[in-house]
């Protein structure tokens, strides 16, 4: 946990305050996700019974341990499962209870159990529907006109494509009231793109670690950004961190990377060129995909294990995508919005950037004027509506 020497950190977010966003996720979003999973495949009576039990447990019960023979039981013990067992889902850190919900959901559908449902991603139908949607074709065809634009315009377009791709979060869509902001404040509440580009100069030898978030219409622009940086010589190598198992509905796994790559290589025009660049980079090792267990940990990055810390320390830049990664990066706490981003990320082992649309209460690094303008025009809605975004960098 990033500590500032003078003041103790503010409290960790819990889900026990009715009317709060975390409470609504536990009380409303999780039941909706269970229903979505029931509808996604013709699961048998055993899985439906387990989903019934999970629904009752996560809304009215207490946290129960994983089965004694679960392959990752020891890992979850180390991550706090024994400390939280027996307590209401609403009374433990929200980050922890949300993360454990996805682990228990996979348990219910037999994802880890030898048998016909082992390894079947319950969210795959919604992920592939999104990848196949006509909107994805439109986004890919925009690459054809981009090819003729100056390099700095391409840089900006691909960075912003990756940033705003973060709105494509299927869990968020289950509960968010969509629509453009009525706010007259600018969509970007912080924009450190200049220091970001100066960390990745052309003709450099940089290594980028991109810690991905959602599959489909977020992962596609993330991959396009990597392909562009490789082509421009702004990076020599990229490591793409994905989730080792389905998580937070639409989070990207290795299978999702392969689906997105096929979507690119099969597309007409410039998109296929990006796809071929990525295919070649995977083949010759300039691009690697990692699925570290800590990517699904219910903990902030301040508690990352030594091997991951060493890996990120060696990167020129680690770029974290999305809202959940932001919560884990700065700590899922009630930070005053003007808390410096550099202070809360001081523990991180190397230069770090966050690209995120705002979908939960946690925020740091705002200047006083920006915060005041947001509050004056929207109250606190800007924090969770997905209508605003940020690019924050600690060099």
Ligand X SMILES: O=P(O)(O)OC[C@@]1(O)O[C@H](CO)[C@@H](O)[C@@H]1O
Q: Which regions of 152-258 does DSSP assign to beta strands (E)?
A: 188-191, 207-211, 237-241
Question: Which residues are within 8 A (CB) of 90 and not within 5 positions of it... i.e. 6 or more apart?
Answer: 14, 15, 16, 23, 26, 27, 97
Which DSSP helix (H) or strand (E) runs through 128? Answer: helix 124-132
At residue 132, φ and ψ (nearest 5 deg) are: -85, -5
Rule CB under 6 A: is residue 360 a binding residue for ligand X? yes
Per the structure block, which two tokens stand in for 335? Answer: 């930070």
Shortest reach from residue 215's CB to ligand X, in Å: 10
Rule CB under 6 A: is residue 213 a binding residue for ligand X? yes
Shortest reach from residue 260's CB to ligand X, in Å: 16
Shortest reach from residue 358's CB to ligand X, in Å: 9
Rule CB under 6 A: is residue 214 a binding residue for ligand X? yes
Choosing from 122, 165, 171, 246, the residue that interacts with ligand X (CB under 6 A) is: 171
Choosing from 97, 166, 316, 387, the residue that interacts with ligand X (CB under 6 A) is: 166
Short-list 105, 104, 84, CA closest to 94:
84
Shortest reach from residue 249's CB to ligand X, in Å: 8
Rule CB under 6 A: is residue 172 a binding residue for ligand X? yes
Tell me how far apart the alpha carbons of residues 247 and 259 are, in angstroms, rounded to a whole number: 17
How many chain residues are in contact with ligand X, going by CB under 6 A?
Answer: 15
Tell me how far apart the alpha carbons of residues 26 and 16 are, in angstroms, rounded to a whole number: 9
Range 31-90, binding ligand X (CB under 6 A): none
CA-CA-CA-CA dihedral for 45, 48, 54, 60, to nearest 10 = -100
Per the structure block, which two tokens stand in for 337? Answer: 């919005």
Shortest reach from residue 269's CB to ligand X, in Å: 29
Strands laid side by side in the 207-211 sheet: 188-191, 389-394, 352-357, 317-321, 207-211, 237-241, 287-290
Tell me how far apart the alpha carbons of residues 21 and 28 are, in angstroms, rounded to a whole number: 10
Range 82-101, binding ligand X (CB under 6 A): 98
Tell me how far apart the alpha carbons of residues 110 and 89 are, in angstroms, rounded to a whole number: 22
Choosing from 13, 14, 25, 196, the residue that interacts with ligand X (CB under 6 A) is: 25
CB closer to ligand X, 189 vs 206: 189
CB closer to ligand X, 322 vs 331: 322
CB closer to ligand X, 234 vs 327: 327
Range 218-277, binding ligand X (CB under 6 A): 248
CB closer to ligand X, 163 vs 230: 163
Range 300-329, binding ligand X (CB under 6 A): 322-324, 327
Contacting positions for ligand X (CB under 6 A): 25, 98, 166, 169, 171-172, 213-214, 248, 322-324, 327, 359-360
């Amino acid at each position: 946990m990033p500590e500032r020497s003078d003041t103790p950190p503010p409290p960790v977010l819990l889900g026990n305050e009715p009317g709060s966003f975390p409470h609504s996720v536990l009380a409303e979003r999780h039941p909706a996700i269970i229903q979505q999973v029931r509808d996604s495949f013709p699961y048998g009576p055993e899985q439906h019974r387990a989903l019934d039990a999970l629904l009752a447990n996560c809304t009215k019960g207490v946290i129960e341990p994983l089965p004694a023979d679960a392959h990752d039981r020891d890992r979850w013990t180390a991550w706090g499962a024994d400390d939280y067992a027996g307590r209401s889902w609403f009374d433990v850190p929200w980050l922890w209870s949300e993360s454990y919900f996805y682990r228990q959901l996979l348990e219910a559908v037999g994802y880890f159990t030898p048998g016909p449902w082992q390894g079947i991603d319950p969210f795959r139908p919604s992920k592939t529907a999104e990848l196949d949607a006509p909107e994805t074709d439109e986004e890919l065809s925009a690459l054809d006109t981009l090819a003729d634009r100056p390099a700095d315009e391409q840089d900006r377009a691909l960075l912003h494509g990756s940033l705003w791709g973060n709105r494509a979060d299927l869990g968020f869509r289950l509960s968010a009231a969509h629509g453009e902001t009525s706010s007259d404040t600018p969509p970007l509440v912080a924009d450190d793109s200049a220091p970001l580009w100066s960390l990745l100069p052309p003709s450099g030898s940089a290594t980028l670690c991109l810690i991905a978030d959602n599959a489909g219409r977020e992962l596609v622009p993330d991959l396009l950004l990597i392909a562009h940086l490789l082509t421009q010589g702004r990076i020599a190598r990229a490591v793409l961190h994905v989730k080792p198992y389905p998580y937070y509905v639409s989070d990207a796994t290795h299978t999702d990377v392969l689906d997105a790559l096929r979507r690119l290589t099969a597309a007409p025009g410039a998109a296929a060129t990006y796809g071929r660049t990525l295919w070649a980079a995977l083949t010759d090792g300039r691009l690697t995909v990692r699925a570290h267990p800590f990517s699904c940990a219910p903990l902030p990055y301040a508690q990352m294990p030594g091997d991951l810390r060493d890996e990120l320390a060696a990167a020129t830049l680690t770029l974290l995508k999305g809202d959940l990664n932001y919560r884990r990066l700065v700590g899922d706490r009630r930070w005053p919005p003007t808390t410096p981003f550099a202070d809360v990320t001081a523990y991180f082992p190397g230069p770090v950037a966050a690209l995120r649309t705002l979908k939960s209460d946690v925020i740091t690094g705002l200047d006083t004027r920006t915060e005041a303008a947001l509050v004056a025009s929207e109250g606190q809605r800007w924090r969770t509506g997905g209508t605003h975004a940020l690019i924050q960098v600690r060099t």
